[in-house]
Amino acid sequence: MLAHHANITHLSGTRVVQALLDRQMLVEDATRGFKLSYDKLIIATGARERFLPYPGWTLPGVTGAGGLQALIKGGMPVRSERIVIAGTGPLLWAAAVTAREQGAKVVAIVEQASTDCVRRFATSLWQTPAKLVQAMCMRFDLRATPYFWGAYVAEAHGESRLTHVRVRHANEDMRIDCDRLACAYGLVPNTQIG
């Protein structure tokens, strides 16, 4: 689509090395470094997953929910692994479905939002029937999966790798044994260009 416009140059996979004077920058891609001159510049840096730290959040086996989806789609095997999906928002369900479709056992979905927030969101789906149907299909596919709302992962445990999480729900702690934990707390703009 952009190729049809002679006045637009699209540089994918290119990073800014240094901003220079007089509307120029030094950039590089996989094959070369070069100067780029411009009259108008649009930099689309995308977004990244928001991470909320908690004890054990850096253990191997702990990722973002979007990161887990990308790893699975990239060929990482998860067959027979026990996975907890935690955080907030609809990405939890999408990540859980992706993992389950590849043979993982989703042992829990831990939604941080309150019951009222989840119900309001579900009710709002009536305005977009296609999304409502998609949500209902996901919920049906995961009907046997425990779903906790108003809950959060307080700690991830393990020595060299994740073995279980401690989930705080209704003022009580639960231990959930798992091989992987995928958390989704929304996206934040990726403001770095380097």
Q: What is the pLDDT of residues 90-133, one digit of tens each?
A: 889 999 999 999 999 999 999 999 889 888 888 888 898 888 88
163: helix, coil or strand? Answer: coil
Ordered by where they begin, the domains of the chain are 2-37 (no CATH), 49-189 (3.50.50.60)
Report in angstroms the alpha-carbon separations of 166 from 30, 65, 71, 104, 187: 43, 18, 24, 20, 24
Locate 106 and state its tokens. 């989703």
Q: What is the pLDDT of residues 14-27, one digit of tens each?
A: 888 898 999 999 99
Residues sharing a CB contact under 8 Å with residue 9, sequence separation 6 or more, in sequence order: none
Average pLDDT of the residues of the chain: 90
What is d(CA 19, CA 8) in angstroms, rounded to the nearest whole number?
Answer: 20
For residue 59, the surrounding DSSP H or E stretch is none
Q: Classify strands 187-189 and 47-49 as parallel, antiparallel or unpaired.
A: antiparallel
Q: What is the pLDDT of residues 131-186, one digit of tens each?
A: 888 888 888 999 999 999 999 999 999 999 999 999 999 999 999 999 999 999 88
CB 134 within 8 A of CB 111: no
| 194 pLDDT tier (thresholds 50, 70, 90) | low
| pLDDT for 2 beyond 80 | no
Question: pTM to 2 decimals?
Answer: 0.75
User: CB atoms < 10 A from the CB of 153, how many?
Assistant: 24
